[in-house]
Structure 1
Amino acid sequence: MNRSDLPDAAGYFYLFASISSLVTFYWVYASEQVRAAPLYPGSTMPITWQWALNGACTLVNLICAAALLQRRSWAKAAVLAQLVAAALLIWFLSTGKLVVDAWWMFISAVPLLMICRAPIIAIPQRRISRSQRVGRIAGFGIYICATLAMYVTVASLFSGTSPTATSPAMTSSGAIVCLGMALAVMWFGSLLWGDKDLAREVAGVLLTAFASFMLLQCVNAFVYVRVSHPQVRGLFHWDPTMQILVILAIIGFTLVGKSRNK
């Protein structure tokens, strides 16, 4: 990856943040706690307002993701506005624990740090037929579905929980199988692009960004639990999770390299 890939990687960060919100929605519904479960621990805000706020944040994340992935001229302004809104939200929903609030603020600032010195220049697009355009949209959609499966798998493995409400707890062997299937789905999606090098490049940047995002998510969960519940020990499974993230990052870098090795 080089500097020109950073806007895409930052866009994927926002996309992954939206995916994490969708997973949160699923778990609250699956556990039948829609009206009672607070989305922001320690907040006195009414539950309905918390849901509305989370939905609004998800929408803003999707807008920022689209702006960055499409290299819009206003992308940096959108990211900066999102960061200001996130800072106000963190202040308003403060947990009273400076370390947690500071870490949340850092995570919110990561996409802006990635693009602050990276030029956001529209990439010239070759003329393609309607069928090719449809194929690329379908292929990218399959990439996102595979990423959703990987997110659920890695998050479940790290926390030692179940990927769904009716499945057993995730294990290392189960995670390897699930991730292998997700990568196979991505390979199938790449066949629809009609451009092997472009499909590899997008998949490579996506996987590399995903590994980085999940690392931050793991640290985020650790910091929150360690500060808020210091009596809890040995809750997270670092070794297998980090091994999987390293493998995904290596696959991502390899795909990016192969797409540009001509």
Structure 2
Amino acid sequence: MISEARSYVRAGEACRNPAIEGQAMNVIELQMTGRLRGGYYTIAEAARILRMGTKQPTIRNWLTGNGSEAGPVIARQYPNSTNELGFYDLIEIRFIDYFRRQDVSLQSIRKAAQAARRELEARHPFAMSNVCFVTDRRKIFKLTAEETGDKRLMEIVSGQHAMYDVFENFLAKGIEFAPDGLAGRWYPEPTKYPKILISPKKAHGHPIIDPAGVPTRTIFDLWRAENQDKAAVADWFEIGKSDVEQAVEYELDLAA
């Protein structure tokens, strides 16, 4: 039944710009070969940023398939790497983890990911968002639920309380999407830490203070070396004391 998704997806074709789609593929190809532009994380670093510190084996399984016949869930940004992730991988892991925490089976998520890559002609369908992509993705999830008999997934996509829309809105929060629909940069906690930014084009995709561009980990390390003197750290990096406070609190939260 997954193949039936094609008719639904093609119905939304008018929403897309073929010129933009071509640009999107070029960006992906560039970032797959250029880690300086596509973000760079080890599995441990990704787990830390996503607050999945105890789930490193789970992330590795999603990325590699761990030798199973079912294969990986994610089409990796750097396919020839064994322990490196890109920014799109990071966003997709966040998406998958959220749905797993809603009790959606990994089998359903894997099937939906495979169908979405095929039908949306996108390597990273869980790192994209606009009206068309979200609508098409929902239809693919619904077809997947019908095929797998996943009652929880069917409840999410067909419920009367717009549950799926709530999920999509939550997952898009803090992410700025490029015109091609792909995630461009991410403010992981925009309410609590509005100046903490993750951009694949800055600091290899690790958290920074925006717009100064100083990695939060670097600020935190100097804060410890300076006996927690925030004023000294602010002076050293030529940033505000409030920036130091935000970076330090964010790093302490990640370590908690």
TM interval, shorter chain, is: under 0.3
Alignment TM-score, normalising by the size of structure 1? 0.26
Q: Which has the higher helix share?
A: 1
With the length of structure 2 as denominator, give the TM-score of the two structures: 0.27
Structure with greater strand percent: 2
